[in-house]
Structure 1
Amino acid sequence: MYRQIVILTGAGISAESGLRTFRDQDGLWEEHKIEDVATPEGYARDPELVEAFYNTRWSQLHNGDVEPNEGHLALAKLEKEFDGELLVVTQNIDDLHERAGSRRLLHMHGELSKGRCPRSRQTFILKDPFGPAHTCTCCIPAQRLRPHVVWFGEMPIGLDRIQHALDSCDLFIAIGTSGTVYPAAGFVDTANHHGAQTIEVNLVEADRHSQFQYHLQGKASQVLPELVDKILKGQVISNSSCDVTDSLVLKSAN
């Protein structure tokens, strides 16, 4: 039975709930240059443009029909019923994990629903989209809040905590992430180095150079409920017990 689990989630799990992703062919990056909307320099040049960029996604998240899917709910179930250590690390800035019930959660790239004081770094919940009226209450004079999002050139949040969890985990699962952007791309190497089993859940086939021991191809909403049930039953993933669904088989990537 696993005792310490680390799970990394990426854009794929949120895309199943209808959220547009930044990097897909129809994603928001195509409407703007990355350096204009996702860097500190871009924000310094034109804060209104950057705010409008994130307000578009904020509105979709809060005013649309976006809800947690079965993948989010499965991870919340795992947290509730698993009696070992669990940490969900998400690269997503939405709040779908929280809505599903996850609490042992770390947003390494920030949160769309929060603004941050540029001076004190204190965060504040946003109940409506960004605008000049959003200022902090921690400084005199009050500072205009910036999106609580990690931009290119900035350090991801909670790396020390993530590193500690990876050093001691016995199972690492990455879900719906390209695995190409560091430092998250290196998490599997750390987990492998410390003897953990490593599983990738993704829509695309496993890359032949993948460092994951096992690969599950399919939607997170379909794969995770059964994978979570196996974990909660104390079934350790192995070559002799690799069936997860009738149509999806856990395959070694090596």
Structure 2
Amino acid sequence: MASTTSESAPFADPDGFDRAAELMATAGRITVLTGAGVSTDSGIPDFRGPNGLWTQNPNAQAFSDIDTYMGDVDVRRQVWLQRRAHQAWEAAPNAAHRALAALDTTGRLNSVITQNIDGLHQRAGLSDEKVIEVHGTLLRVMCMNCGLRTPSATVLARLDEESDPRCVSCGGIQKSDTISFGQLLDPEVIERATTAARESDLFLAVGTSLTVHPVAGLCDVAMMARANLVIVNAEPTPYDDYASVVLRQPIGEVLPGLVHRVPKRGHGIFHGFEDL
């Protein structure tokens, strides 16, 4: 596919923004892939950007390794404290999250596949059924032995008395119900995401570097099904040359603007969320 890359103002660029808006307005089934860049406006840092968590503190990446976590009680203690202090607990959905919730009201949103673990898509108004969390969620804790899932708030409340809270059912090691390095993704979740990509006629990748597989490969799945690929991301991605449109403008400005141009099924231009 020939791509159009835009770095100018979103509402003044006919070759980028307007083309993306046209593709979205004429699509019947839009699948969206979101990455950490979608939540940065909510105060949650990304990982690989200039101010990213791993860029600023390379040692932090070691805490995301499953073998290190399972084998070192001191690492687990530090991770639990980090989880309790995570920005997600105080964060609120931003304009990008609200725009995707508004897109759902047009009847054109198939699914939101997210690499984020903060739950902000649901807090913005999307249903759990509409959101596919490929890297899990901070909102739950899972026992690594028996698989028992518990609300995170219940486990975090124990930290004042227990630095490494164990499973109340079997005594096993617990961790946030998120995917760590070296840990397999849930095959059922990946199958749902693959199906959503295959069923789309427009695949919108927002705020993701598209370097982490197998999630990045969903772009290939969508394009093989003849979907248009639109990328909104601050930095270049490996898929830019294959996209119909690449937009570099701030996500919190571009996404509401694009969704504003998407009509509800059987109607004209949608004007239901001017406050975004």
In the superposition, the TM-score normalised over structure 2's length comes to 0.74
> What is the CA deviation profile of residues 18-70 of structure 1, one whole-angstrom value per residue up to 9, with x for unaligned ones?
11223334433325253x31122111222442453364254242554x22110
Q: Is the 8 A contact 1:188 1:212 kept in 2?
A: no
TM-aligned CA distance change 1:170 to 1:63, over 3 Å: closer
TM-aligned CA distance change 1:48 to 1:94, over 3 Å: farther
Matched, 1:97 2:128: no
Amino acid corresponding to residue 174 of structure 2 in structure 1: L
Instruction: Answer with 192-201 or 208-217: which moved more.
Output: 208-217
Amino acid corresponding to residue 210 of structure 2 in structure 1: G
Q: Give the structure 1 partner of residue 100 of structure 2.
A: 75
Q: 1:149 aligns with which of 162, 178, 181?
A: 178
In the superposition, the TM-score normalised over structure 1's length comes to 0.80
TM-aligned CA distance change 1:221 to 1:25, over 3 Å: closer
Amino acid corresponding to residue 99 of structure 1 in structure 2: R
Q: Give the structure 1 partner of residue 150 of structure 2.
A: 124
CA distance in structure 2 between the aligned counterparts of 1:205 and 1:27, rounded to whole angstroms: 16
Structure 1, unaligned stretches of length 5 or more?
236-254
TM-aligned CA distance change 1:144 to 1:155, over 3 Å: closer
TM-aligned CA distance change 1:182 to 1:207, over 3 Å: closer
TM-aligned CA distance change 1:56 to 1:210, over 3 Å: farther
Q: CA deviation at 1:202?
A: 1.3
SS of the equivalent of 2:32 reads: strand
SS of the equivalent of 1:112 reads: strand
Q: Give the structure 2 partner of residue 32 of structure 1.
A: 59
Q: Give the structure 1 partner of residue 78 of structure 2.
A: 52
CA distance in structure 2 between the aligned counterparts of 1:208 and 1:109, rounded to whole angstroms: 21
Matched, 1:198 2:225: no
CA distance in structure 2 between the aligned counterparts of 1:155 and 1:232, rounded to whole angstroms: 39
Amino acid corresponding to residue 44 of structure 1 in structure 2: M
In the TM superposition, 1:12-27 aligns within 5 A as: 12-27=37-52
**Greater relative contact order (Cα < 8 A, sep 6+):** 2
TM-aligned CA distance change 1:54 to 1:100, over 3 Å: farther
CA distance in structure 2 between the aligned counterparts of 1:48 and 1:98, rounded to whole angstroms: 33
CA distance in structure 1 between the aligned counterparts of 2:221 and 2:239, rounded to whole angstroms: 19
CA distance in structure 1 between the aligned counterparts of 2:133 and 2:239, rounded to whole angstroms: 29
CA distance in structure 2 between the aligned counterparts of 1:96 and 1:204, rounded to whole angstroms: 23
Matched, 1:175 2:200: no
Residue identity (%) = 30
Q: CA deviation at 1:234?
A: 6.2
Structure 2, unaligned stretches of length 5 or more?
1-25, 267-276
CA distance in structure 2 between the aligned counterparts of 1:221 and 1:42, rounded to whole angstroms: 36
CA distance in structure 1 between the aligned counterparts of 2:85 and 2:63, rounded to whole angstroms: 17
